[in-house]
Chains A and B, each alone.
Chain A
């Protein structure tokens, strides 16, 4: 038996670097630049781009939880939209009774109601996430069909419960006074709330990325995606980790729900249902379980919606689907496929 000459790796060798795959990252920028001549006027292009970025960040915040849950736990939660609606409704509990404070013309007073509202929304939707994971999802780990059925049933019950508690009417939710209006630079107007939304979106994105890539919990999560049994054998409570991820994902959905409700300035129980489709498209485009892909997917969906709405209003309504089909033709498993499933 001849031994072939295989280079044995020594301890001092650096780990082989994963090949950088930059094209999807550049895609939103390329798309934005391509749209500049099509839109024509620079000021409306800036407005559209800012609107796209803001909308994209909000969709990302809502979708990131879903993609985390899928990536780690292999659970596709069709009831994710329920957390969005619950978050928005909880925020109205804080914002509407204190309407005087959010209507005051002072940033500090406004924030004094907005921050507790957001925190309450995240706390309630996160806590609800824990309950849902324990009650609905724990019995059906590893059974995709039942997961879809269970979580869809959960969505129905949640939506009906919201109707029962708050009534079927649309609740108006005005934006705090100091977040209204826009900054004017030359002939370009940039809405203040959109800037805030972009800031929050970036913070969430960077936060998730740093947690996943730089902390021990992130290491365990990524290891759990690769090989759950092995991580368990090393003595870590993967179940508890799963529960934590589900809670964070639900809380993020709640946060996204508040932001979306303030953006639209209204709350309705079917908003979760409506956003679910959009979020699924983003998760598919990004590649199941990939946070980075989800981020890019959200930006792309928002851009196509905004530019499309400006250029070809009729087409804009199905632009999401066209985008999804195009991306899947190019990369059948999404932009960045993380899981081997």
Chain B
């Protein structure tokens, strides 16, 4: 209970799901051979942490930010540029982290102080504008960021696939790639547990109070702008750290993998489908979404082919593998409408207003 910050899943099915996800993620390198399952697992870890940090904003304070990928991108780019410029050394990784994280925090602070005084709706629009400007900047300053192509780099010796630690453990060669995976797994688990700690602290309760009724929270003597800005900075820090891990896994940072608006929409979908205001929802949402992204497409391709063979009109197009987001979008709208607390809220069974 201590490690879960006194906020256990409170549902047998949910506990079972979470344990399954964590165990499967932990043993993925040993039971699912090949590069793709490991990639999917690493992406689930990274996105679970990223989505959990977004949930701190959306679920706990009720502010919609469209700038979360900006912080994610800052982390990615910082470590990528450092490793590209300084060569593959641990000093470069350190420099990337030491520049990227404070930069993200500072930017979050400025945006927060500048725009959190106003209504949520205004904040959403301002963050949308700032994030799009950042995306343009990243793709234009090609001398620094590599433009549209992004930056590829090599990792320090220890993390490379060529570095073999154990030749044969349960039939798997333990190399630098698997070490990187476990660093990501542990790092993301640590961040999620830390976020769980934050939302169950007195500070987290104030955030919920602000979400439910900002005026009343203010009347109780809480300086809501301070709390909102603090939450914004925390979320930005975790997002930037997730960005660092993402860049380290891909050995690449570019606009499409770390900054694009579609990633922002993905995060939004994961939070809402998983369950707003529950950090556990991030894990469930990210897992479902990324599994769908990677494996639903094959299924849809088969269905689309079958529909085309049957000579049905339009259906092959709607079931085309590239249209998987259409169906998740519909699921998203339905879940906002029918179960606003998402899967986790449903499993917990306690109806709680999300707006």
Contact = CB atoms under 8 A, between A and B. Distances in A.
Contacts of A168: 322
B133 interface: yes
Contacts of B58: 145
Nearest to B58: A145
B332 A153 contact: yes
Interface stretch (B71-79, B118-126, B198-206, B344-352): B118-126
A11 to B, nearest CB: 39
A321 B129 contact: yes
A163 B322 contact: yes
Interface in A324-341: 324, 332, 341
Interface string A130-171: 000000100110011110111011101100110111011000
Contacts of B337: 139-140, 150
B119 A317 contact: no
A280 B354 CA distance: 25
Contacts of A281: 129
A314 B330 CA distance: 39
Contacts of B318: 164
Given A149-B336, A153-B333, A157-B330, A318 B325 contact: no
B128 A156 contact: no
B125 A284 contact: yes
Contacts of A144: 119-121, 355
Contacts of A163: 322-323, 326
Contact of A318 (B62, B137, B272, B332): B137
Contacts of B163: none
A157 B340 contact: no
A203 to B, nearest CB: 28
Nearest to A162: B326
Given A160-B323, A341-B119, A145 B354 contact: yes
Given A139-B337, A281-B129, A284-B122, A146 B355 contact: yes
A154 B333 contact: yes
Chain A interface secondary structure, helix, strand, loop or mixed? helix
A334 to B, nearest CB: 10
A304 interface: no
A318 B130 CA distance: 9
Nearest to A283: B125
Interface string B218-245: 0000000000000000000000000000
Interface in A16-74: none
Contacts of A161: 326
B355 to A, nearest CB: 4
A165 B120 CA distance: 35
B329 interface: yes
Contact of B329 (A76, A153, A273): A153
A318 B136 CA distance: 7
A298 to B, nearest CB: 15
A102 to B, nearest CB: 27
B101 interface: no
B144 interface: no
A92 interface: no
A78 B121 CA distance: 10
B137 A145 contact: no
Given A277-B132, A317-B136, A146 B336 contact: yes
Contacts of A288: 122
A149 B272 contact: yes
A136 B320 contact: no
Contact of B333 (A150, A167, A277): A150
A332 B268 CA distance: 28
Interface of B: 58, 62, 64, 118-122, 124-126, 128-130, 132-133, 136-137, 140, 261, 265, 268-269, 272, 314, 317-318, 320, 322-323, 325-326, 328-330, 332-333, 336-337, 340, 354-355
Given A163-B323, A165-B314, A283-B125, 9 more contacts: A143-B355, A145-B62, A145-B355, A153-B329, A153-B330, A165-B317, A284-B126, A321-B129, A332-B118
13 contacts: A78-B124, A143-B355, A144-B121, A145-B120, A146-B340, A146-B354, A152-B265, A157-B330, A160-B326, A167-B317, A273-B261, A317-B136, A318-B137
